[in-house]
Each structure stands twice: as structure tokens, then as C-alpha cells.
Chains A and B, each alone.
Chain A
Amino acid sequence: MKDQISSSPEKLPPALECRDVGRTFMIKRGMFAQKQPLKAVQDINLKINRGDVLAIVGESGCGKTTLAQMLLGLLQPTNGEILLDGQPINSISIKEIATKVQPVFQDPYSSLNPRKTIEQIILLPLIVHKIGTVKDRRERVEKYMRLVGLPKRLVHSYPNQLSGGQRQRVAIARALIMEPKIVVCDEPTSALDVSVQAHILNLLQDLRTKLDLTYAFISHDLAVVEHLADSVAVMYLGRLIEFGKAADIFSNPQHPYTRALLDSVLTPDPSLGLPKITLGKGLPNPLSPPSGCYFHPRCPEATEECHQHTPVLKDTGERLVECHLH
């Protein structure tokens, strides 16, 4: 897996790169049971170019949150390496990573400390990193509140006095105040009402062009992903099964799982009925994954080969697909 999707033209290293990244947790079930390995993430290879939006897509339990934690430097990969600006992430201190990568989380209720004011919350990064004088910091908080569309009068409010959308803006301001290059957004709009979701998506778009940001955008909502993403990585049971340019993936999905995901998007078109998707059973137990291709028990096109052999990630030019059929 040396040669992947062509990197940015200026020959700069990609903003973020995963090389054969895996993370295994040792899980103990029951008091006397032996510890079992749980491969939350396996052999992930992907690149995010500067200024791009990479969407990481998959259903619950596919390992996307574990991957996000590794991208933030909060979890060390058990194998492989993650490169930040071409530098291995485990050679950089967490504080330095923090100046380059910052998170925005899903739940605007749990992402703000209820006992702190909005100013204290947005300030925290500057205090931890000892940046600026008290006056500088205050000005910077004001600037970023303006940038994310928070009225100034809220500066001494507490999170409980804000709406869900306003809270999410606070979380975005806190992430941006360190002027990071990369923002890892973990389902940033899925806990919000649709009208608020539109505000936040528009804001993320605006900030991206204004501040030249790179997003790793984790989501299960493919409509949102199509709207926002430049490239898409589809994960299933901890494995990357398809990766490519968003437009290509949406117009021509290759992996049967990607196809199923796309088919299950319910566009608001009353002339279409419900899609017929037959993925059979639910997600297999990740502690004892199926033989061969992890997707074969649910795959409508599975062959004998899929039962027995694990497919390798195939590089078809602009696209990576992990499937025997391609």
C-alpha cells in the first residue's frame, strides 16, 4: 500500500495520513474469562489532503470513533503509524498535536462543562498553552465568538442558557481558537434539529474557506456527507472497505456495502417508495469476526471465495476497494 490516491500537486505531505493503522483493545468479558483481542480498527490506509474534507462513513461499531481518537493523539495505534504533516504523530507531544488538530463532538450537551461560562470554555486552550495576556485572550475570545456567529452578550452565560445550536458554535470556537489546521468533527450535527443542522453545516463550510481548514468529518448521514465531503472513506467492522473521491463514490459505488448504504439514504421524494435493502442479519460480533471477507454474511453477492479469503484492498486508480468482486 505504498501508492495511493495522488497527493496534492505542490508535493507537500498530506495534512494527515494513516499507514496500516490498527488498534486492538483487550476485552475481558466476565470475571474469570480470558482477555480477548478486539480489533476496533484494522489496516487503515488513507490520506487527507490540505483543505479537503474527508468523510469517514460507517454504522455504529465500525471503529470510526476509535479512528478519530487516534487522529487526535488521544489513543496510540497498536500498529501502523499516523503522519501529521508528514511527521509521525507518536513523535510529537500531545500539546503540539493540539495546536494542529482539534475536535468537535456530537453532543453539544456533554461537550461543554456545565459549571463554566462560555468565555471560560473558549479560553481554556489559551490558558493550557499559556498564550497571550489576559487582555489578548479576551479579545481573541471575542473574535472567535464573532467568527462562529455567537452574540457577544453570551460571553458570561453558562451552557444551560444556550440552545443546542449555540452550544455547538461554542464547541467550534473552542476548537478553532488554537488556529488548528485540521478539525476532526465527530457527527457534529446528528444531535441537532434539522433547521439548526443547516446553520452549523453552513458555518463549517464558511469557516473552511475562510480559515483554510481541513476536516475529518465522521458521519453516518450520507446526505450530509455528499454535501460536504471531497473524499469519502467507508468503514465496516473496523476495516476500510472503500475510499475515493466523493463524487465518484456517490455516482459509482463499488463495494456492495457502500451501495447498500447509499440505497438506504431516504431522500425526501414522495414519488419514491422505500428502498428494498436485504443485508440480512445485523452486525456480526467484532470479537469473533466472520471468516474471509467481514461483510460476506450480509452481502447479497457473496461467493465461495468471500467465505474463505480475506480480500485485499485494491487500488483502481483513484479508488481503493476491498472486495473480491472488483
Chain B
Amino acid sequence: MNNQSLDTTDDRADEFEVSVPSPPELMKRRAKSHIGFILGGSVVLIALLVAIFAPVLAPADPYDQDLTRRLIDPIWGAKGTWKNPLGTDALGRDYLSRIMFGSQVSLMIGFFAAAVSAIVGSCIGMIGGYFGGRIDNFIMYLINVKLALPGLLVALSLVSVFGGSIIALILILSFLFWDRYAVVTRSVTQQIRVNDYITAAQALGTSHTRIILGEILPNVMNQIIVIASLEMAVAIIIEAALSFLGLGVQPPTPSWGLLVSEGRSFMFFKPHLIVLPGMAIFLLVIAINMMGDGIRDITAPEGRN
């Protein structure tokens, strides 16, 4: 080849070449300067660490009852002791340990409900968006049916039928959430499908599964993660609400919703019993939301301005 491609085969960069950051570099840079993401992310990370290492970190067994040491105040209260930094509950169980173990339930249900619904919903959405036609019509029909259902009522009745085990809760919450992923991934997929790189992959004889997972999914992933973080927050709230109503996680398992419910009768003279788990729910949910917003800003800044 002669001089026509001299400059481009030449490995030296052009004098005026400016280095444009790659998408991963760009995301890293944006993440580093995003206060909401860093703040929310660190709170979520701390909650996660607490949940994982609760057996090591917790000062006591959360199921250990001591009826002689019931309703002890936290250390800032009048009769607080360091033995139970956040006091004890009506059955004399260490409240700090119960809240720490409670984060396991919240995070597990939040994470798996978001993940299961993400997988199911995104698959449905991408299939509809990619294939179009009759398949898409059927999927739109499914989504419309789901949207017409009174979600919370269905959830309540399903819980009362199947009981409140953690797995049952995860599946029921997933059933409540999948449609949002489906709607979003479907419309994004429709936009991506017309790109020439999809046609190029088809012209290679690439299987549909490979095109959906290998070419489309990486472009939809940021949307999925954003929705997942928001749905995770909602799942945590719904779990707490169901547990509060006695329909969710069953005692003696420590769940924040359940703690609030149990502390209800002592609300006026031992307010920390509901304030502390309530604060935990509030903090975690707001942190997850901040993180989710941050991820949106970091991965898809087009939507920011």
C-alpha cells in the first residue's frame, strides 16, 4: 500500500491527536467525582459488609433471650450499659445484634427480588424488542395484563397463600417488578436493533441468543442496573411493610419491618425500638436510591442535562 495510508498504519500518534477517554475510563472518572454515588455507595457497602459479617461483628446471638434483661435502654438512655449498646427488646434479645442480622434479610430480599425480576423482565423485554411482530405483540399483552393487576393486593393474597418464607417473598416481589424492566429494555432494544452492528452480526450467522446477550445486553445493562437499584429500594420497603403487617418474614427471624412491628406496643416509653430499625430502613433505601441515580449519571450522562 502506498502513501495513502501512511499516517494511519504509522503507529505514531498525529501531532494534533487528543486522547479521548474510553467508555470505562469515562465512567471511572465520572464515578470519582459523583458525590451522591460515593455517599450512597459507601452506605450500601457498609450495610453489605455488616450483613455478611454479622455473625462475627454482632456482640450477641440475635435469638438469645434473657427475660431478666428485658427492654434495657440503649447506652444514651438512663440505664444503658455497654453490654447491650442499643439496648434489648421485649424478650431481652440484644437489639444491635438483631438490627445487624436484620440487614441480612433486607439486603437479601432486596437484592434477589431485584435480580430475579431483572433477569426475567429484561429477557422478556429484549426478546420482544428484538423479534418484534407477533412475539412482541404477545409480550406487550403480557405487560398490559401485569399493569392492569392491582399489584399490592395480589402480593398480599399470594403471601397469605404461600406464607412468608424468604424465597416466597423474593418470588412474589419479582413477580411485582418484572414489567418495568420489560418495558424499558423492550424500547431500548427496539432502538438498538436497527443499528448496523446488529445487521453485521446477523450477516455472520450469529445466533439470536448470542446477538441478544452479546450485542444488545451490554448496551441495555446500564438501564437495567439503574432500574434494579430503584426496585431494590422498593423491595426493601415492601418487605418491611409486609413483615410489619405480619405477612412477611415470620418471628423470631430478625427483619427490620418485624422489629418495628414488635416494638409498636412500647412505642411511647421505648421509642428507640421502632426509631432504630426505622432509621435503618430509611438510610439504606435513601442510600440505594442515591447510588442508583449516581449510576444513571455515570453510565448515561445524555439523560442528565
Contacts and interface: CB of A to CB of B under 8 A. Distances in A.
A35 interface: no
Interface stretch (A100-108, A133-141, A260-268, A318-326): A100-108
Contacts of B206: 124, 128
Contact of A157 (B22, B199, B200, B201): B22
Contacts of B195: 110-111, 113
Nearest to A120: B214
Contacts, number: 104
A171 B195 CA distance: 13
Contacts of A111: 195-197, 200
Name the residue among B19, B22, B196, B204 with the largest chain A CB count within 10 angstroms.
B204
Nearest to B3: A202
B203 A103 contact: yes
Interface in A265-292: none
Nearest to B4: A202
Given A114-B219, A115-B23, A206 B200 contact: no
Interface residues of A, number: 51
B78 interface: no
28 contacts: A69-B199, A74-B202, A94-B202, A94-B205, A101-B203, A103-B200, A106-B196, A107-B196, A110-B195, A113-B195, A113-B219, A114-B219, A115-B23, A116-B218, A117-B22, A124-B201, A128-B210, A129-B204, A149-B1, A149-B8, A150-B8, A151-B10, A153-B11, A161-B19, A165-B8, A198-B4, A202-B4, A203-B4
A178 B204 contact: yes
B215 interface: yes
B20 interface: yes
B305 interface: no
Given A128-B206, A149-B1, A149-B5, A114 B23 contact: yes
B196 A110 contact: yes
B200 A105 contact: yes
A92 B113 CA distance: 45
A115 to B, nearest CB: 4
A124 to B, nearest CB: 7
Contacts of A23: none
Q: Which 6 A-B pairs have the closest CB atoms?
A: A95-B205, A149-B5, A111-B196, A115-B218, A105-B196, A94-B205
B33 interface: no
Contacts of A95: 204-205
Interface in A164-195: 165-166, 169, 171, 174-175, 178
A113 B201 CA distance: 10
A169 B5 CA distance: 11
B115 to A, nearest CB: 21
Interface in A137-162: 146, 149-153, 157-158, 160-161
Nearest to A161: B20
Contacts of B196: 105-107, 110-111
A297 B89 CA distance: 90
B9 A113 contact: no
Nearest to A113: B197
B204 A125 contact: yes
Given A146-B9, A149-B9, A124 B22 contact: no
B8 A169 contact: yes
A101 B200 CA distance: 11
A27 to B, nearest CB: 14
Given A107-B196, A151-B9, 6 more contacts: A96-B205, A98-B204, A124-B206, A149-B1, A151-B10, A160-B22
